[in-house]
């Protein structure tokens, strides 16, 4: 009989087991028996992170005991292998080393508000429950992508789901790929069919899903609810609405809200994004916020009982407050104008005839609705509204719409004549039934439930409208209020007359609206002094008008290629091509667009825009303007709204735009998003006002009331916006530019890109047989990728297969795209090829890190005694087992026991020991000192000096957040408990009076008791969240560092002399001292604040800060005048390459006449052309070559030259 499984030799406490975790050794912490051959095992991985797994006997038998650990490093590993493995480890844990690694390894130049959002608001919150609500155009997609990539690089994220409206999913996929090299899949029905019996959401770890595709499909919701996610991001989250209807009914959820709640419960980190978080109704806003914290926003909002406080859950920055790093406004001024024009007599006649027809038919549609067929009445009303909008658009649009409608109704009449007599009513005939636009496939993007709600219609994306265009046209062309055949015949006859009139207008060439547009073109487009026309975007709502304008403008300009178009039927590939042509081709002048260009396309190449048609949804005006008024726009933006006088629509739009203009002037242009804020038209939709004006606008009393509603709606909307900022100040964050800039500057010192990444990649790639060839400056071709890397890449990330060759790669972000050359792949942390190379390198050479190696310090000013260099990882965990903080550093332990930390890897400064030196080691190294348990001392130091202060800092920050959450949750739940307790007493009295059912009393009591339990549980949970645990420091590698002087002295028994001009080490130190002093004095002369680094600081000697907070890193090289060469280490070169324009090589010519005669030259970007490999330790460079490239920084011209170059670099960064 076999022994109990708990006694298996592989399950001994403390045993180190292979096979449980991939590529790692696990240590057994605890074993519990669950059944005869099933055990629950608690273990920890190599980082010290505990985890629990369940295994059976077969599983355990397949595991194996790991070989015993080496108590003390043997220091016999090859030094070059050690350095390569150490760099692989450092880059693998780049996010622990470089605090902003996602920025430095992505194709972005983030702005201050974006950095603050990610690194101060999102990442510190573990777990995250947050609403990012910055204004449109602020770059929320960049913030989400940066957050996701940072988590991935930190090892805290494997499964990510992004929810977006159907029209935006491809934009999300493209931006994540192009800007962050993150490959996501878009969920589609083929995934469902390909998954067989598996859950497709489980099989695909990085997914983008269409909001309505999943929300409206019960089966997909059920599958999605069975999967957990590390991160869930919801774009356009304001669509997830819900509200309280009655006291006992709870929240009435829309399907979208249910989707949000489901992901809120299944995602560890949950991020909502919207530019319009507050609809103007506080109770609906609080229901929306319950997606982030159900307890904090429990129950129906009551102003006297509940708090409005949302601190810690939301960040909102408005365009007016966004700044560049230079402190300048990020968005330029914008101006809007209303261009009035008067219809010709023929146009006026056509307008009145069509409007009378629409008004009459709308009245009949109302009667149909009142008689009980509301759906049919809505269908007819929808069709007539679209017809009226096309009338206001262009003669072409109304003519084509009337023709299609007449032809369709005539065909239906002909069909019906075959089956009915004149006296049969049409109410039961299929053609009169309301048409459903949906295909019946709930998975189809753009499917919606209430298709005849015109408010919903106006909020559809243009892409969603396009996907239903055929069905929409079907309704517009055929929905009729006719009840009998004679009525239908009469309507067709009216349409014939309208068509005749429309044709006369169209053929006459009378189009005063087009004339008005042409005047704008004449004045603003073709009047450039340099002869180059400005570019302009013209928006229309209708395809017929778009084609009409294309013909008119092309003929007028005489160049068909000058006009481009985008509409809902334009594919994403074609849209990108149009955007590129409009941006870069000087021949293109006009972009004609429906609202397809108002969604997801950035068109800031133009700063002029015309609304040829005004949309009936005020948000769309802001969305359109946002295409040109966005990040990267440097010109004042101008918008012209075309409006025909003496029309029903102009009564509404004219009053609205005048009121908006007055209010904007009152606020001195400081409220950009006036129409986009949802406080306006909260109680009266703009669409309702327009319909009422069309139907009853001839009545002076109706017109006066409409004006009153418009005035009050705009005023109340703006008052709501201003009062929101007063009542919810926590929503509207201010930007501490100095704080953000300081954070960026602190992170610069730890950059890996591009120098360190390139040096590691090229050596490690060549070691495996890869072939790399230099092409253009900073760009390479990989002609052969080893098969082993391709296989490793597939194992690590099947979404990003590694090809057999790369046409171009680069390590410098701004070298990715070069005009006239193929795009290059950016090799940076997170790139699949680099990840595979790191994985294979550690697999091959990782053991050298623990075995240790011997390195020799041959620098001009070496250490004076042997020392130990440790690679050290420290982690702090939450009570839920989540990582609150993790750091990776290099610690130097001197012979005397002093420990210091270096941010730059010191091992790159040192050389391997020569064969003729190796036998001298026993003479110079104290074996007793070497055999001590230094790791124990190091862990104690890491705890007290490294992790403990960091833990206290985290606890202080988390405690403030937890105290606030605890107070708000307690206040809310206690208010609800009191409410339901009092409600129970009230209902009891009502039962005695026979007014209510006794069951209502029980429901109130049960609700109060449930809330009491929730309060108790949440308080315990919040108290537990305060607990942070420091894991034992993990030592990843160790090296013994020997000063070269000890080996030399031991070999020849004589004191060390420098090979430099035969001077002693003391004389050399004096030269270096004078050189550093000269640089410190120079920096102060330049108005900067310099700080000298400790001796032998790897990478640079002086850190200096200017008045703008920018940090400059200075490497000082001092030589006696006349010296022909100087020495620079590989590490100094690599560090300089990562800093670019912020690095200075300071050459100091030390005069024999005294320090007053010392001369200083600075060289910017000194080592940009030096090719470094990991095997190269140092370079001897010609002094005169570098001296002649530099200049005296104290001379005005030199300062100006460096400033000019710096500004060029900064502008190039902004342009990218």
Q: Note the pLDDT of residue 771.
A: 92
**Architecture of domain 5-65 in CATH?**
Roll (2.30)
Closest Cα to residue 534, out of 550, 519, 521, 516? 521
**143 contacts 108 by C-beta, under 8 angstroms:** no
Instruction: Identify the band that residue 703 occupies on the pLDDT scale cut at 50, 70 and 90.
Output: low
Is residue 322 within 8 Å of residue 329, measured between CB atoms? yes
Taking the CA of residue 964 as centre, how many other CA atoms within 13 Å lie in the half-sphere pointing to its CB? 13
The arithmetic mean of pLDDT across residues 898-904, rounded, is 79
Domain boundaries, the chain: 5-65, 104-317+734-742, 345-507, 852-1054, 1057-1215
The residue among 962, 980, 965 whose CA lies nearest residue 299 is 980
Q: What is the mean pLDDT of the chain?
A: 79
- Lowest mean per-residue pLDDT among 263-277, 498-512, 925-939: 925-939
pLDDT-based confidence at residue 1060 (cuts at 50, 70, 90): very low
- Lowest mean pLDDT of 313-322, 388-397, 839-848, 901-910, name the range: 901-910
Q: What is the mean pLDDT of residues 684-695?
A: 64
pLDDT of res. 207: 95
Q: Alpha carbon of 877 to those of 126, 302, 936, 939, 1032: distances in Å?
A: 10, 39, 21, 17, 11
- Looking at residue 592, its pLDDT comes to 93
pLDDT of 528:
58
Of 1189 and 430, the one with more pLDDT: 1189
Sheet order of strands, 25-35 included: 50-56, 38-44, 25-35, 16-18, 64-65
pLDDT of residue 252: 83
Q: Does CATH number 3.40.1350.10 belong to domain 1057-1215?
A: yes
Name the nearest CA neighbour of 1090 among 1006, 1162, 1000, 1040.
1162
CA distance 148 to 172: 13
Q: Given pLDDT bands bounded at 50, 70 and 90, which one contains residue 595?
A: confident
Separation in Å, CA 1126 to CA 333, 668, 831, 993: 53, 61, 37, 101
Q: Which of 164-168, 317-321, 865-869, 1182-1186 has the weakest average pLDDT?
A: 317-321
Of residues 711 and 814, the one with the higher pLDDT is: 814
Strand ordering across the sheet containing 608-611: 334-341, 637-644, 608-611, 536-539, 590-593, 563-566
55 SS3 class: strand
Indicate the pTM of the whole model.
0.72
More confident residue, 630 or 670: 630
Most confident of 367-371, 910-914, 1204-1208: 910-914
Q: In 1086-1142, which ranges are continuous DSSP H helix?
A: 1130-1139
DSSP letters spanning 811-831: SSGGGS--TTS---EE--TT-
Rounded CA gap, 793 and 178, in Å? 20
* DSSP per position, 864-920: SS-EEEEEEEEEEEETTS-EEEEEEEEEEEETTS-EEEESS-GGGG-EEPPHHHHTT
Does residue 421 have a pLDDT over 90? no
Model confidence band, residue 873 (pLDDT cutoffs 50, 70, 90):
confident
Q: Which of 112-121, 934-943, 961-970, 1172-1181 has the lowest mean pLDDT?
A: 1172-1181
Predicted local confidence at residue 782, as pLDDT: 94
Please provide residue 364's backbone torsions phi and psi, each rounded to the nearest 5 degrees.
-65, -35
Beta-strand pair 637-644/334-341? parallel
Asked if the domains at 5-65 and 1057-1215 fall in one CATH topology, the answer is no
Please say if the pLDDT value at position 38 is more than 80: yes
pLDDT in tens, 603-629: 778 888 899 998 877 767 777 887 888
Q: Which residues contact 1135 (CB under 8 A, 6 or more apart)?
A: 755, 904, 1098, 1099, 1100, 1113, 1143
Q: How confident is the model at residue 170 (pLDDT cuts 50, 70, 90)?
A: confident
Closest CA to 15 of 72, 66, 71: 66
The confidence score (pLDDT) of residue 433 equals 41
953-1009 tens-digit pLDDT: 888 878 877 888 888 888 888 888 888 888 888 888 888 887 778 888 888 888 888
Q: What's the rounded Cα separation, in Å, for the pair 336 and 50?
A: 60
Which residue did the predictor score with more confidence, 715 or 351? 351
> Does the bond joining 1081 to the residue before it have cis omega, within 30 degrees of 0?
no
Distance CA 910, CA 916 (A): 17
Of 155, 125, 124, 151, the C-alpha closest to 46 is 155
- Which pairs from 252-258 meet CB under 8 Å and 24+ separation? 255/212, 255/215, 255/216, 255/449, 256/211, 256/212, 256/215, 257/291, 258/215, 258/221
* pLDDT value for 793: 87
Query: Strands 16-18, 64-65: parallel, antiparallel or unpaired by DSSP?
Result: antiparallel
275 within 8 A of 237, measured Cβ to Cβ? no
The beta strands (E) that lie in 76-205 are given as 129-132, 160-164, 185-186
Q: What percent of the chain has pLDDT over 90?
A: 17
SS3 32: strand
User: Are the C-beta atoms of 907 and 855 separated by less than 8 Å?
Assistant: yes
Higher local confidence (pLDDT), 690 or 1014: 1014
Please state which CATH number belongs to domain 104-317+734-742.
Answer: 3.40.50.10810
Q: How many CA atoms lie within 13 A of 980 on its CB side?
A: 23
Question: What's the whole-number mean pLDDT along residues 1021-1029?
Answer: 83
User: β-strands 853-857, 1034-1043: how paired?
Assistant: parallel
Mean pLDDT on 1033-1038? 86
Q: Most confidently modeled of 350-359, 711-720, 1187-1196? A: 350-359
CB atoms within 10 A of CB 34: 12
Pairing of strands 160-164, 206-210: parallel
Torsion of CA 192, 196, 202, 203, to 10 degrees: -90
Flag the least confident range among 336-340, 458-462, 1156-1160: 458-462
Residue 258 has φ and ψ, to the nearest 5°, of -60, -40
Residue 756 pLDDT level (bands cut at 50, 70, 90): confident
Q: What is the pLDDT of residue 255?
A: 92
Structure tokens given for 716: 């109340």
């Amino acid at each position: 009989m076999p022994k109990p499984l708990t006694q298996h030799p592989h399950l001994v406490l403390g045993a180190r087991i292979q096979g449980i975790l991939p590529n790692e050794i696990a240590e057994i912490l605890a074993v519990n028996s669950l059944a005869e051959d099933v055990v629950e095992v608690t273990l920890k991985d190599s980082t010290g992170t505990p985890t629990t797994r369940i295994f059976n006997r077969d599983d355990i038998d397949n595991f194996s005991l790991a070989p015993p650990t080496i108590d003390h490093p043997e220091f016999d590993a090859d030094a070059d292998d050690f350095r390569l493995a150490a760099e692989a480890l450092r880059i693998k844990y780049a996010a622990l080393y470089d605090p902003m690694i996602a920025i430095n390894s992505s194709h972005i130049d983030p702005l201050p508000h974006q950095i603050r959002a990610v690194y101060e608001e999102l990442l510190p919150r573990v777990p995250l429950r947050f609403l990012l609500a910055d204004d449109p155009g602020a770059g929320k997609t960049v913030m989400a992508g940066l957050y996701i990539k940072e988590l991935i690089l930190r090892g805290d994220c494997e499964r990510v789901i992004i929810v977006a409206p159907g029209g935006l999913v491809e934009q999300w996929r493209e931006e994540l790929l192009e800007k962050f090299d993150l490959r996501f899949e878009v969920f589609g029905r083929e995934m469902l069919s390909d998954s067989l019996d598996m859950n497709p959401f489980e099989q695909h770890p990085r997914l983008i899903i269409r909001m309505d595709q999943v929300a409206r499909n019960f089966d997909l919701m059920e599958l999605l609810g069975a999967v957990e996610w590390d991160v869930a991001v919801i774009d356009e989250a304001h669509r997830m609405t819900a509200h309280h209807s009655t006291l006992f009914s709870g929240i009435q959820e829309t399907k979208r809200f249910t989707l949000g709640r489901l992901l809120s419960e299944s995602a560890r980190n949950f991020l909502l994004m919207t530019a319009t978080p507050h609809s103007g109704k506080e109770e609906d806003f609080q229901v929306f916020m319950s997606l982030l914290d159900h307890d904090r926003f429990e129950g129906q909002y009551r102003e006297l009982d509940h708090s409005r406080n949302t601190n810690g859950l939301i960040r909102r920055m408005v365009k007016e407050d966004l700044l560049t790093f230079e402190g300048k406004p990020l968005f330029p001024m914008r101006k809007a104008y209303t261009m009035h024009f008067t219809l010709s007599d023929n146009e006026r006649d056509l307008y009145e005839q069509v409007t009378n027809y629409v008004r009459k038919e709308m009245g009949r549609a109302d009667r149909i609705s009142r008689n009980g067929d509301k759906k049919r009445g809505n269908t007819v009303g929808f069709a007539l509204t679209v017809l009226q909008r096309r009338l206001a658009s262009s003669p072409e649009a109304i003519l084509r719409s009337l023709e299609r409608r007449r032809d369709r109704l005539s065909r239906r009449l002909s069909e019906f004549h075959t089956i009915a007599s004149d006296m049969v009513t049409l109410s039961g005939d299929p053609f009169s039934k309301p048409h459903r636009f949906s295909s019946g496939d709930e998975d189809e993007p753009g499917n919606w439930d209430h298709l005849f709600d015109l408010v919903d219609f106006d909020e559809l994306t243009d892409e969603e409208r396009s996907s239903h265009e055929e069905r929409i046209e079907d309704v517009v062309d055929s929905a009729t209020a006719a009840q009998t055949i004679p009525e239908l015949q009469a309507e067709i006859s009216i349409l014939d007359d309208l068509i005749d009139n429309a044709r006369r207008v169209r053929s006459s060439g009378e189009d005063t609206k087009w004339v008005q547009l042409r005047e704008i073109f004449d004045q603003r487009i073709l009047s450039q002094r340099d002869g180059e026309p400005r570019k302009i975007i013209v928006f229309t709502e209708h395809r017929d008008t778009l084609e009409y304008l294309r013909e008119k403008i092309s003929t007028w300009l005489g160049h068909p290629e000058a006009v481009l178009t985008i509409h809902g039927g334009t594919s994403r590939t074609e849209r990108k091509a149009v955007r590129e042509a409009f941006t870069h081709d000087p021949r293109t002048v006009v972009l004609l667009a429906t609202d397809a260009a108002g969604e997801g396309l950035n068109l800031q190449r133009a700063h002029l825009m015309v609304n040829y048609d005004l949309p009936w949804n005020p948000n769309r005006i802001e969305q359109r303007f946002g295409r040109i008024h966005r990040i990267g726009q440097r010109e004042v933006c101008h918008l012209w709204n075309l409006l025909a006088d003496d029309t029903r629509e102009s009564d509404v739009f004219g009053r609205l735009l005048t009121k908006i203009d007055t209010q904007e002037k009152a606020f001195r242009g400081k409220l950009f998003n006036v129409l986009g804020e949802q406080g306006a038209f909260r109680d009266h939709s703009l669409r309702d006002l327009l319909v009422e004006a069309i139907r009853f606008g001839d009545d002076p009393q109706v017109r006066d009331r409409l004006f009153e509603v418009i005035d009050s709606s705009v005023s109340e909307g703006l008052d709501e916006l201003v009062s929101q900022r007063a009542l919810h100040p926590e929503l509207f964050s201010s930007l501490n530019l100095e704080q953000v800039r300081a954070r960026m500057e602190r992170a610069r010192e730890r950059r890996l890109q591009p120098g360190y990444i390139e040096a590691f990649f090229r050596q490690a790639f060549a070691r495996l047989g890869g072939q790399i060839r230099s092409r253009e400056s900073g760009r390479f071709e990989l002609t052969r990728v080893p098969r082993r890397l391709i296989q490793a890449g597939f194992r690590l990330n099947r979404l990003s297969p590694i090809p057999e060759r790369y046409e171009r790669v680069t390590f410098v972000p701004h070298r990715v795209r070069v005009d006239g050359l193929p795009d290059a792949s950016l090799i940076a942390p997170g790139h699949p090829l680099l990840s595979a190379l790191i994985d294979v390198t550690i697999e091959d050479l990782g053991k050298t890190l623990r075995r240790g190696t011997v390195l020799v310090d041959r620098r001009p000013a070496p250490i004076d005694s042997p020392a130990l260099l440790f690679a050290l990882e420290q982690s702090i965990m939450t009570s839920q087992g989540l990582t609150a903080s993790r750091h990776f550093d290099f610690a130097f332990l001197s012979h005397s026991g002093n420990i210091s930390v270096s941010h730059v890897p010191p091992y790159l400064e040192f050389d391997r020991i020569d064969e003729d030196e190796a036998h001298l080691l026993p003479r110079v190294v104290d074996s007793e000192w070497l055999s001590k348990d230094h790791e124990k001392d190091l862990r104690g130091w890491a705890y007290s000096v490294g992790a403990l202060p960091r833990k206290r800092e985290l606890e202080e920050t988390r405690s403030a957040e937890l105290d606030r959450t605890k107070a708000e949750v307690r206040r809310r739940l206690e208010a609800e408990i009191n409410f339901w307790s009092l409600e129970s007493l009230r209902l009891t009295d009502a039962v005695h009076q026979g007014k209510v059912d006794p069951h209502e009393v029980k429901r109130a009591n049960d609700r109060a008791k449930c809330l009491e339990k929730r309060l108790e549980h949440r308080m315990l949970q919040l108290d537990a969240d305060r607990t942070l645990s420091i894991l034992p420091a993990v030592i990843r590698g160790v090296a013994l560092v020997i000063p070269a002087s000890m080996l030399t002295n031991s070999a020849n028994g004589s004191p060390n002399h420098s090979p430099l001009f035969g001077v002693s080490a003391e004389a050399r130190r004096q030269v270096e001292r004078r050189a550093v002093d000269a640089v410190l004095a120079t920096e102060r002369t330049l108005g900067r604040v310099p700080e000298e680094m400790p001796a032998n600081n790897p990478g640079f000697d002086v850190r200096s800060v200017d008045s703008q907070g920018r940090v400059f890193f200075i490497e000082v090289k001092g030589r006696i005048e006349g010296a022909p060469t100087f020495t620079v280490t590989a590490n100094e070169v690599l560090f300089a390459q990562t800093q670019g324009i912020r690095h200075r090589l300071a050459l100091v010519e030390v005069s024999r006449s005294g320090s007053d005669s010392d001369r200083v030259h600075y060289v910017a970007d000194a080592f940009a052309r030096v090719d470094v490999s990991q095997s190269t330790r140092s370079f001897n460079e010609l002094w005169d070559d570098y001296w002649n490239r530099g200049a005296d920084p104290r001379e005005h011209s030199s300062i100006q030259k460096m400033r000019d170059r710096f500004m060029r670099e900064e502008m190039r960064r902004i342009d990218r």
